[in-house]
Chain A
Amino acid sequence: MTLDSLLADVDHADSAVGLLMAVRSLAQTGDPHAIPKLIEVLGFNNPGAAVAAVQGLVTIGEPAVAPLLEHLDGYNYGARAWAIRALAEIGDPRALDILLSAAADFALSVRRAAARGLGTLQWQALEPSERVLAQKRVLERLLETSQDPEWVVRYAAIVGLESLARGLDDPELRDPIKQCLQQLRQSDAEVAIRGRSQLAHHQLMTTD
């Protein structure tokens, strides 16, 4: 199968399952020429195909970052959430500013994906001096996000804070994270949030 025929299969898919299969095949090529089509699929409102497209973009990795940043859909929050997911999983620090603002997006699926992604950026790609500053900004944003009215966004913030704590250059920044996790563990209204912050806190204590 040539790339052109794989691209054509995506355009000509006549069912949800057909589209999913076509996107999977295209994603598996890992070919950077597939990037624009994979980004287009994020806007199709087909969750199965979107998962496959995100997976394809993450496999392609670094070359997909600039096109993803350029084509962020300001009008379709479904597509935006998937793009943020892809950027989050690739972890390229060029996405830092986008992820910071996406963590305050009006759409909760966007905030959720961004909060998780902020914790797992590839910090080693930044100069040491930039790194501490960037981590401070991320910490500040995630502490705010941990008070979001939506449980799933707070959940994602906990996951983000836990990963951030592991990658910190300045160990002192761990203290506010632990305090935040303790507070959520004791007083969040949602059982699931208390459980997840307990797990995060426990895992950070055992890796100290």
Chain B
Amino acid sequence: MQPSETEVAIAAESWTTEQAIANLQQTDDPSTRYYAAWWLGRFRVRDDRSLEALIEALGDTIDRSPGGGYPLRRNAAKALGKLGDLRAVPALIDSLTCADYYVRESAAQALEALGDSRAIPGLLALLDGGVEAAVRVPGKPHLVQPYDAILEALGALKATEAIEPVHPFLEHEVARVRFAAARALYQLTGDEQYGDRLITALRSPELQLRRAALMDVGAIGYLKAVTPVAETLAENSLKLIALKGILEHHLAQIDDLDEAAIEIMTQMDKLL
């Protein structure tokens, strides 16, 4: 989040759809354009003009951060993930090779949200070099690629061809990356040993890691995690989100409420 994002975002709450689209289409004022991209995603404006302008913004070269990043492209990619229109997929795949790490991360997350398997080869390509290549960028707070977003997307997209390249990431030095690999491998294989790694992660000594593991078991709907989620030391609001994910995943597989569904809800009730 940029320092002043909240303030401007609040001012932008009063825009109309027409204004937001016009603000994105213009190129004279980069900061207004930046917030317009955010706004259209936030309010999920499904309009052809908004879609076209956002796709065009993915190629923007005007709005540059001091570090050489592309702020507008990042916001445009995020917004396109929220709009749910598959016409954005090819441009987002192109963005996976953008020089800006955060554009690649936003694009991977958007492609995960859109759920289109055309993204798989582009995502897999970012794993080239395997764990050996997955090192920190000197002087930056991140690795060379947004591995957690890439791995999560491959899992969500059911990219079974990714099982082999993803597997070594279970041993990556960064815990978040290991969790993302376990999450993806559980989705790709259904093998509980991977889900169980996330249950172990719920007992990490660090709160940040327990929070990350909560989001992971919720995202994959790992039924065995219900009690460990209820018992882990973290905010109730995050536990509730995790249990909601598990509940919804489970309800999608049954016709009527069963004991497991009632057990999840009983745990949720206690956390309110």
Contact = CB atoms under 8 A, between A and B. Distances in A.
A152 B237 contact: yes
A199 to B, nearest CB: 6
Interface stretch (A1-9, A109-117, A126-134, A170-178): A109-117
B236 A195 contact: no
Interface of B: 207, 233-237, 240-241, 244, 247-248, 251-252, 257, 261-262, 265, 268-269, 272
3 closest A-B pairs by beta carbon, nearest first, are A116-B272, A48-B233, A191-B248
Contacts of A47: 233-236
A152 B240 contact: yes
A116 B262 CA distance: 17
Contacts, number: 51
B269 A195 contact: no
Task: Please indicate which of the listed interface residues A16, A116, A159, A192 has the most CB atoms of chain B within 10 Å of its own CB.
Answer: A192
A116 B236 CA distance: 14
A116 B261 CA distance: 20
A152 B269 CA distance: 10
A113 B271 CA distance: 9
Interface of A: 16, 20, 47-48, 51, 108-109, 112-113, 115-116, 151-152, 155-156, 159, 190-192, 195-196, 198-199, 202
B234 A155 contact: no
Contacts of A108: 237
Contacts of B207: 16
A159 B262 CA distance: 13
Given A115-B272, A156-B272, A195 B257 contact: yes
B272 A195 contact: no
26 contacts: A16-B207, A20-B233, A47-B233, A47-B236, A51-B233, A108-B237, A109-B236, A112-B272, A115-B272, A116-B269, A152-B241, A152-B244, A155-B240, A156-B272, A159-B269, A159-B272, A190-B248, A192-B244, A192-B247, A195-B247, A195-B265, A196-B265, A196-B268, A199-B257, A199-B265, A202-B257
B257 A198 contact: yes
A195 B268 contact: no
B251 A191 contact: yes
Given A115-B272, A152-B241, 8 more contacts: A47-B234, A51-B233, A116-B269, A152-B244, A159-B269, A191-B248, A199-B257, A199-B265
Contact of A192 (B235, B248, B262, B272): B248
Contacts of B252: 191
A191 B251 CA distance: 8
Contact of A109 (B234, B237, B241, B247): B237
Nearest to B256: A198
Given A16-B207, A109-B237, A155 B251 contact: no
A190 B247 CA distance: 11
Nearest to A152: B240
A195 B245 CA distance: 13
Contacts of A202: 257
B214 to A, nearest CB: 12
Contacts of A151: 244
A177 B272 CA distance: 20
A16 B233 CA distance: 11
B240 to A, nearest CB: 6
A191 to B, nearest CB: 4
Contact of B262 (A113, A156, A199): A199
Contacts of B237: 108-109, 152
B257 A155 contact: no
A157 to B, nearest CB: 10
Nearest to B205: A17
A171 to B, nearest CB: 24
A21 to B, nearest CB: 12
Contacts of A20: 233
A195 B234 contact: no
